[in-house]
Structure 1
Amino acid sequence: MTRLLMQFMTNVQSHTTSQPPVTYRRIIFVAEPEEPETPTARASSRPAALAELCDYDPCRDQQMPCTQLSLESGCLCPGLSGPNVLPQAPHLNSVRREGAEVVARWCAPASEVQQYRVTVELGTFQLFGEISRKGSLGNLVPGTKVCVEAINRAGTSTPSQYSCTRYEPKGTDTLALKAGLIAGGLTLLLLLSVVAFLLWRRKLHKDGSSSEGLGNPSFNTEGSL
């Protein structure tokens, strides 16, 4: 057994030494030159150009609606509720005398409006167009309550503490009222004076005509004296 094992080992060793050594081919990896990276256009979250705000003043009389300004120039409007949403109440800025009349001035709400209704105490009211921001109310008694409401398809705005006020004439308003009353009184007095003068002239002319129609007492139907 030992002899057989030694003979097997000798055969294996001789077989191994008789074969030529194994050589391995060297593999060389050549890196290709990288191409220069071309910059690619990246999508920016910022807009190319910022749109400007519309030249819109909600308190300016005869102000074009902001939606129309936006359509014409591409400007941005403040957030406005649509025509099918109940409008907010306008802001009544002032009710004061301007010249011979009392004028109410208001600002438009952040809503689309078709017209405004200005209500005076005791139930009288006037309607104004959507671009109006003021309205003449004639002559008002001091303390009269005035309210302005916005109207669109959805209905009428609910009155608020900013949409109503009372007409309280200031010192300048009182002076203007007094001046108007004095001017009116003088005009009425002058008119009455002219009427009285015309009546007096008419009466005088009538009396003169009557005197010319009387006969001469120095003559009679039979001739001279």
Structure 2
Amino acid sequence: MLARETHEFLTALAGRPPVDEPLWLEALTHGSTGAARDYQRLEFLGDRVLGMVIAEWLYKLEDGNEGRLSQRLNALVSRTTCARVAREIGLAPHMLLGKQARDDGGQDSDNILGDVMEALIGASFVTHGFDVTRDMVRRLWAGHVGGKTGKAKHPKSALQEWAAGNRRKMPEYRLVERSGPDHAARFTVAVSINGVGEAEATASSMREAETQAAAAFMERFG
């Protein structure tokens, strides 16, 4: 069953006590624990629920075209944003990780934090229904939806346009290094434009490393 601190955390999160405690425990459990059930199925569901909630919210909130709305949606439901929300609410101490995952820094992994955040959304949907879950997501994501997340042009798109505008070849991305275990992997990616230069970045996913490398390139050469 849930520890008292975790029960209180989940009650504050959803605005009501957690129904079906074993399901919520599953949402907090990483595969490294060796438990029979971990968060992956609930993460799958929560990812879809989060996308629906944010898409509906943006549709009502903004007048942008499909491309603009998709840009914001993708940024707001990204693993990076989910991990930021998880840190904002103090999720890490309540996650259940195996010893090796903890020793490898799993409590501060964007991958794990983002996945568990989505799993909690899935658990809320199963036990409390859509309306309660929508209210929870809107409360947790309010600062990000009301802020600049996803409003700026994506760094990779900005870099590609910069290259075209300066009559340069398209950017080339390459994996420099992959380190760490699967649950806390780190990727170092370099992006280069022939005749201009190169920039590197390291992140917890290839996609994020490429994004950060593009941003670093634009800051240095753009």
TMscore range, shorter length? under 0.3
**Which structure has the highest helix share of the two?**
2
User: Higher relative contact order by CA 8 Å / sep ≥ 6: 1 or 2?
Assistant: 2
TM-score, normalising length: structure 1: 0.23
**Which structure has the highest strand share of the two?**
1
